[in-house]
Structure 1
Amino acid sequence: MAFKIKRGDKVKVLAGKDRGKISTVEFLDSKSGKAIVKNINIAKKHVKAIEGRREGGIYEIELPMPISKVMLVCPKCEKPTRVGFRIEEKDGVVRKYRYCKKCNENIDLVYEKNKVKR
């Protein structure tokens, strides 16, 4: 499944107990359609000690949240925005960009390849 957000993107949380917070994406799981966002959706996990391996206690972990519950923050205009894709062809090279639908600026290059002539 292709996503409109990538690891390292700054996102705003749209729903849940952390609604309105802005943070960065640390991990994307394409099978489940979930993302782990830094310092968002934190839960406490009680861990039993294993002798010689780990110390027991209560750990805070970041739980995955659905990708539909986060929105990309545009690096150019610093506003939460929807993301579109734009394909540009120039000098026989095809480039695909992600772009901000609010300010209409390119966010980053998705891929670049030479056009095949047949």
Structure 2
Amino acid sequence: MRKIKKGDDVIVIAGKDKGKRGSVMRVVGDDGLVVQGVNRVKKHQKPNPAKGLDGGITELEMPLHLSNVAIFNFSTKKADRVGFKINDKNQKIRIFKSNGQEIDA
């Protein structure tokens, strides 16, 4: 089970976008995340009529390393770490390390 999944709200803790918050759009490989509105770059793109793409300069989000983000805890309004716990139904669940609340609840 991954500590950070698609749809989680995260905050960037290192790099040029430090302090920005966003939700995880997709997971790339073992240790990459694409976060909405974070790590935006400009890409020069050639037109491709076969795919229906116009040429020009487009902005897109690039992946961040997993170690540069932390999950955002809305109850404490701070970055937090993720832990695991077995609940009473013998299911592995994710919890916030600071206060022990369930993340997926």
TM-score w.r.t. the length of structure 2 is 0.88
Whole-Å separation in 2 of the counterparts to 1:32 and 1:84: 18
Range 53-62 or range 100-109, more displaced: 100-109
**Whole-Å separation in 2 of the counterparts to 1:105 and 1:37:** 23
The within-5 A match list for 1:56-75 is: 56-75=55-74
Instruction: Give the distance between the partners of 2:87 and 2:37, measured in 1 at CA.
Output: 37
- 1:34 aligns to 2:32 (yes or no): yes
RMSD, aligned α-carbons:
1.6
- Contact persistence 1:75–1:107 (CA under 8 A): no
Gap regions ≥5 residues in structure 1: 110-118
Residue aligning to 1:95: 91
Alpha-carbon distance in structure 1 between the residues aligned to 2:54 and 2:10: 33
1:104 paired residue number: 100
CA contact (8 A) 1:76 1:105 kept: no
2:3 is aligned with 1:7: no
Q: Cα–Cα, structure 1 residues 105 and 49, in superposed 2: closer, same or farther, change >3 Å? A: same
Q: Count residues in correspondence.
A: 104
Deviation of 1:32 after TM superposition, in Å, equals: 4.1
Secondary structure at the aligned position of 2:67 is classed as: helix
Which of these two proteins has the greater Rg computed from alpha carbons?
Answer: 1
Task: State the shift of 1:6 in Å.
Answer: 0.9
Distance, in Å, in 2 between the alignment partners of 1:5 and 1:107 is 10
C-alpha deviations, 1:2-22, integer Å up to 9, x for none? 421111111010111110111
**In the alignment, is the contact (CA less than 8 A) between 1:14 and 1:20 conserved in 2?**
yes
Q: Counterparts of 2:83 and 2:66 in 1: how far apart (Å)?
A: 16
In structure 2, relative to structure 1, the CA distance for the partners of 1:106 and 1:50 (3 Å cut) is closer
